[in-house]
A = this chain, B = another copy of it.
Amino acid sequence: MAAIGFDPHDHSACISSTLRQAETYCAEHKLKLTPIRRRALEILLAEHRALGAYDLLSHFAAEGLGSAPPVAYRALDFLTSAGFAHKIEGLNAYIACAHLGSDHAPAFLICTACKSVAEAETEASDGRLGAAARAAGFQIDRIVVEALGLCPTCQDAA
């Protein structure tokens, strides 16, 4: 389980690299990474934490892009459908995917204090829950695995 964690790292490199991957993916799958969608992804990548739809929207507004809620929700829908971003249910917030390219069932460690998020790839709960689902005849569309708590930094601050 490779976790991209709470350690500092080179943001600008991971931003540009992820954007390139997203462009490639869109080209291959006939999806359109329009300016507003691309900008949404850039913002999520730059923040590197979970942002609410309205947080994203105020970035848009500040930049002269659309400022009504559907603008943000549509961009987020696109990004999440394409797998470029994930919704953090426990925070009603959204974050750029940290494992673009791998078809994964994400699991998150979420700091409720600073809203930073570590994304881990999981097969575990897929396996167990998947087994329970098969036994029950349940058809899984989406899996949510989130651990809410405090990151090392916020523990120290407390």
A interface residues with partner B (beta carbon < 8 Å): 1, 3, 5-6, 89-90, 107, 109, 111-112, 118, 120, 122, 124-125, 127-129, 131-133, 135-152, 155
Contact = CB atoms under 8 A, between A and B. Distances in A.
A139 to B, nearest CB: 5
Contacts of A120: 129, 132
29 contacts: A1-B131, A1-B132, A3-B132, A89-B90, A90-B142, A90-B144, A109-B132, A109-B136, A109-B140, A118-B138, A120-B129, A120-B132, A122-B128, A124-B127, A124-B128, A125-B125, A125-B145, A129-B145, A133-B147, A136-B152, A137-B151, A138-B150, A139-B149, A139-B155, A142-B149, A143-B146, A143-B147, A144-B148, A145-B145
A67 to B, nearest CB: 25
